[in-house]
Amino acid sequence: MPKNQFWKTIPLEKLGKDQWESLCDGCGKCCVLKLEDVDTGDVHYTDVGCKLLDCKTARCTSYEKRKSFVPDCVLLTPDNLGVLSWMPESCAYRLLYENKNLPDWHPLVTGNPDSVILAGHSVAGRVTPESAVDEDDLPDHITVW
């Protein structure tokens, strides 16, 4: 168990850049394509990764420049967490925003960067690249993570 559990004592809006970035468990769920039902507003996750997602590692291949390549990529901030209802329920940013604890498999809790994969909460190795799926076929790729 890590000694410095900053996420328990520092509000999200006061976190330093490195602390903020370390909250991401690297699951890749926010980087899969999603479909919104226009009638209900429900958001459905797919098993199709964004064009920048490395499907084997669930990491962005161009994290620092991602907005240049994917203009609608959402940059998380403490100010927009409340309106991003599509964020995964296991997302550390969402959990902390909702005053909940990090899951016991989160790398900050375990000290192991691979714990999200070992716990089965990563999309790594379980997604198809966006370039391999026709947009019309996306509904066939809806999945529950």
Sorted by where each begins, the domain ranges of the chain are: 6-141
Question: What is the rounded distance in angstroms from the CA atom of residue 87 to the CA atom of residue 84?
Answer: 6
Mean pLDDT across 87-97: 96
Q: What is the pLDDT of residues 120-137, one digit of tens each?
A: 999 999 999 999 999 999
Residue 1, pLDDT above cutoff 70 = no
* In the chain, % of residues over pLDDT 90: 96
Answer yes or no: is pLDDT of 2 > 70. Answer: no
Q: What number is the average pLDDT over the span 87-95?
A: 96
DSSP labels for 39-53? TT--EEEEEEE-TTE
Q: Mean pLDDT for the chain?
A: 95
pLDDT band at 3 (very low <50, low <70, confident <90, very high): low
9-62 pLDDT tens trace: 999 999 999 999 999 999 999 999 999 999 999 999 999 999 999 999 999 999
Distance CA(39)–CA(36), nearest Å, equals 9
Q: How much is the pLDDT for 71?
A: 95
C-alpha span between 123 and 98 (Å, rounded): 23
Q: What is the pLDDT of residue 4?
A: 84
- Per-residue pLDDT, averaged over 86-106, amounts to 96
Question: Which residues in 96-135 are b (16+ Cβ under 10 Å) and which e?
Answer: bbeeeebbebbbbbbeeeebbbebebbbbebbeebeebee
